[in-house]
Structure 1
Amino acid sequence: MTYCLPLKICQLASLWLLAIAAPAISQAPDRNVGSIEHLPALKGDYFSLFSKEVGRNYHIYVRLPEGYDDNPDQRYPVVYLLDGDSTFPMLAPLHLFMHYDDQIPEAILVGIAYGGFEPGVNMRHIDFRTVMDDGTPGGAPQFLSMLENELLPRIDDKFRADSTRRIIVGQSRGGSAVLQAAWLKPGLFWGHVASNPGREPDTKLLFGMDRAPPEKKRSGHLIVASGSRDRDYLRGTALEWRDTVAARDDFPWDTSFIDIPGGTHAADLGNVYRAAMKTMFAQTTESKTEPQN
């Protein structure tokens, strides 16, 4: 036998049940909380890249320029940040502020990250070396092939990138990788910024730049930056590079040495980045800051 309450009572019961359920619904986790979309200075895109060249996965973070969607015909320089786990969240907002204050052109910033600092996850000690300490081959050739054949084409295809204005930035051992990229792939990037580069056994005078340079039409920039308070052996090598390499005019780039007074090994990367970008885009920024008649 079925029993039916009057319609009004049923409606009241339904409202009561909804009232009980409402707190539980409101407490459901918001999956967008903590999203990078809530950080506009970092906002852009993310994708996971499994590299066939290297045989490992990378996490790729992309920061898009302010006004990117409003200027569909504009193409932008692209800055590739090695060690993107830490350099991307540091330098992406800085670039925005430099655009405001220094008239540096807006750019697409690409952070190449490993997903952690733990050994076995972060493989910079292999990717940024041509020869390991025991004499076995390092992973630098495969890493550079990943950049050339997998990552750069994907960025060029997906975003409005100016492929003639690619810049690679690296710190410490990543700085050595920047010099390797310049030497082994001299036409791949327009700008190269090596901040306090490491001096591994395979690096010699900051990757053999005391030898004959690679053949390439002269264009772009190669910048080595050194903090005056960097580790003694790294500082000494950087100053030797300044005195013996930076002044040469037979390289396929404009070579520059940037001194960071009081700068330490890692904490002054932001100062290096700002000085390097102002050096590379000097003509652009000067034209924008000239007084108008």
Structure 2
Amino acid sequence: MWTETTPPLAAMLPGTRYFELESEAVGAQFGVWVTTPPRYESETERRYPAIYQPDGNLTAPQTAPAMQMVRDDPINPVEPFIQVSVGYTGEDTTRLLAVRARDLLPPGEPLLPTTNPESLDLLVQAGYLDADAAKLYWHNLQNPAADKFLSFLVDELHPLISGEFRVDDTSTGLWGFSYGGLFATYAALRRTPFSRIGAGSPGIVPQSKVFELYDSEIKDEADYSGRMLHMTVCETEVTAVSPYQAYVGRGATDFITQAGKNPLSGFTFSSKIIPAESHATGLAASWFSFLRHCYSTSSPEATIMCQ
């Protein structure tokens, strides 16, 4: 005999606790998965950096289980950290594409000409969204509010995380993939507690608001000392003929070029192409690239670079 049941969270995500929180800034409810590092319970005097991830419904199950291994990896060991994956609850879990557009796109973010209600109908036909969710997606694409989601992370969630867990605020991190990578790039150019930021395959269109923000910070001679942004792009997003060349490859390479030619004062910027991966398979590889660049303990040089 076998029995279908609902396993405890620890069966899939060891060391993880789950919370739900209503955000005043966004006006929506979020699910939060918090994974502590190995030996967190025994190292009672130690504090750890918190690293935040949007798209928690996808990122938590793909990245949190590796928490048990990356600290003691003999090849690429990383500093132990508290992983905070932020996602959605209830009905929003069935329409992630629509809801995340509200939270992860900067205000006023332009769309490619090929993004229109007719193109979203293809998502309905493919079964990714129903008709109502497609309408919500289009509405959120036209009215994005990453500023409100950023306020939720900084002003509402982080104080709760710091109050419940032993957090070291000197190296708070943020990492996102796809639209999450666009959000991370946007956050990197704002005044926030995030000092180590990773943007994986960011959905940066050629006229993205992040270019406008970057130029404004250059003009103001803003001081970015102590802040790092590590950007990754999957190889096939640049080399293979697909919509991702326009949605990801072109904008990301333009940003990498601009950051290299016209660097912000004190800003540590790095980038890497993830070999062989596509947009569908590059999430985990991008995450580990970020950890190796910003939280590595394998060499003094790597640690100093990210401090």
Q: TM-score, normalised by structure 1?
A: 0.78
SS state at 2:44 partner? coil
Map Cα deviations across residues 202-229 of structure 1 (whole Å, 9 max, x no partner): 6256564344347345003101110110
Gaps of 5+ in 1: 1-26
CA distance in 1, matches of 2:96, 2:69: 35
Q: Pairwise mapping of residues 1-293 of structure 1 onto structure 2 (< 5 A)?
A: 34-39=7-12, 41-101=13-73, 102-115=76-89, 116-119=92-95, 123-129=99-105, 130-131=107-108, 137-185=143-191, 187-200=192-205, 203-204=208-209, 208-213=213-218, 215-230=222-237, 231-233=244-246, 234-282=248-296, 284-287=297-300
Structure with larger RCO (C-alpha < 8 A, sep 6+) = 2
* Code of the aligned partner of 1:104: V
**1:120–1:173: structure 2 CA closer, same or farther, 3 Å change rule?**
closer
Query: Which structure has the greater CA radius of gyration?
Result: 1
SS state at 1:285 partner? coil
Residue 264 of structure 1: how far off its partner (Å) = 1.0
SS state at 1:54 partner? coil
CA contact (8 A) 1:79 1:167 kept: yes
* Code of the aligned partner of 2:102: I
Number of residues of Structure 1 aligned to a counterpart in Structure 2:
257
CA contact (8 A) 1:220 1:254 kept: yes
* Code of the aligned partner of 2:67: H
CA distance in 2, matches of 1:201, 1:110: 30
Map Cα deviations across residues 240-284 of structure 1 (whole Å, 9 max, x no partner): 2222213544344311111112221131121111122111134x3
**1:226–1:62: structure 2 CA closer, same or farther, 3 Å change rule?**
same
CA distance in 2, matches of 1:190, 1:92: 21
CA contact (8 A) 1:103 1:288 kept: no
Residue 72 of structure 1: how far off its partner (Å) = 0.7
Would you tell me which structure has more helix in proportion to its own residues? 2
CA contact (8 A) 1:210 1:244 kept: no
Map Cα deviations across residues 19-47 of structure 1 (whole Å, 9 max, x no partner): xxxxxxxx9x98xx5011233x5323111
CA contact (8 A) 2:203 2:252 kept: no
Q: State, as a whole percentage, how many aligned pairs show the same letter.
A: 23
Q: TM-score, normalised by structure 2?
A: 0.75
CA contact (8 A) 1:226 1:259 kept: yes
CA contact (8 A) 2:71 2:77 kept: yes
